Amino acid sequence: MRFFVAREQIVGNEVTLVGSDVSHIRTVLRLKAGDSIQVISDSGQCLTVRLVEVNTKEVKGEITASATINVESPLAVHLGQALIKGNKFDVILRKSVELGVRSITPLMTERCVVKTNRTEGKVERWKKIALESCKQCGRSQVPEVAKNIETLETFCRENEHQDLKLVFWELEEKKTLKDIKPDVQPDSVAVLIGPEGGFSLAEIERAGQYGFQTVSLGPRILRAETAPVVALALLQSLWGDL
């Protein structure tokens, strides 16, 4: 388990952890003064920290070692994921972080079952889930979760500059990722994944205007929560670090 800290939590050789990290260290891990933990700074440094003080409000420690780590994928994947019902978006978020996604943007699309008035406050919770997932899988950078739930067109416009732009669509019968042959190794890719009912033809055409090309994930229709996991794994296998 790694803990993430902002630069203002590091003063000289001293690190201070606050918030939920305190209860996790005290009550879950049951650590005490003299024990050591790994801390990731927002500059990507991996710090070995020996605990000096553990109380109910904060945990203080001193840095005993420092190293630069790089467990991030060379492929920057920017996922535009349509909202789906229940807690399935949470599952997608966790798995996407494990698979090295660089950013995640929740989308409200034509066929989303989720209503906009039921999404209030969820973005902050999704950011916390992304952070917790990073701690669990040992990443050195926390993926960005978009500040707002966006439209498909906004996502396409903001990601028009990416090296590859793909929309995984169940009605695409011919083209798969094996057919995508970029001239040079892509450094970045924008990915669109639809809701339970998929994207409408109008949405596919709109994405195409921004250079997004449709791709199939195979002959079987995947569940909305399965598609992004498969897509990300394939992308990392082809151009990333799997």
The CATH number of whichever domain residue 31 belongs to comes to 2.40.240.20
Total domains present in the chain: 2
Would the pLDDT of 1 be above 80? no
Quick one: 33 and 108 in the same domain?
no
Claim to verify: residue 189 and residue 205 sit in the same structural domain = yes
- Per-residue pLDDT, averaged over 63-83, amounts to 92
Residues 42 and 155 in one domain: no
Q: Which residue has the higher pLDDT, 7 or 230?
A: 230
Instruction: Report the chain's mean pLDDT, rounded to a whole number.
Output: 92
Residues 97 and 179 in one domain: yes
Whether residues 141 and 227 share a domain: the answer is yes
Q: Does residue 189 share a domain with residue 217?
A: yes
Q: In the structure, what pLDDT confidence band is assigned to residue 105 with cuts at 50, 70 and 90?
A: very high
DSSP string, the chain: -EEEE-GGGEETTEEEE-THHHHIIIIIS---TT-EEEEEETTSEEEEEEEEEE-SS-EEEEEEEEEE---S-SSEEEEEEE--STTHHHHHHHHHHHTT-SEEEEE--TT--S-GGG-TTHHHHHHHHHHHHHHHHT-SSPPEE-SS-B-HHHHHHHTTTSSEEEEE-TT--S-BGGG---SS--SEEEEEE--TT---HHHHHHHHHTT-EEEB--SSPPPTTTHHHHHHHHHHHHHS--
Looking at residue 68, its pLDDT comes to: 82
Q: Is residue 43 over pLDDT 80? A: no
What is the rounded average pLDDT of the residues 202-225? 96
- Percent of the chain's residues with pLDDT above 90: 74
Residue 165 and residue 199 share a domain: yes
Same domain membership, residue 83 and residue 7: no
What is the arithmetic mean of pLDDT over 218-225?
93
Last residue of a domain, one of 33, 68, 103: 68
120 shares a domain with 228: yes
Whether residue 232 sits in one domain with residue 130: yes
What range does the domain containing 42 cover? 2-68
Final residue belonging to a domain, choices 50, 68, 86: 68
pLDDT digits (tens, 9 = 90+) for 151-185: 999 999 999 999 999 999 999 988 999 999 998 99
Q: Is the pLDDT of residue 117 over 70?
A: no
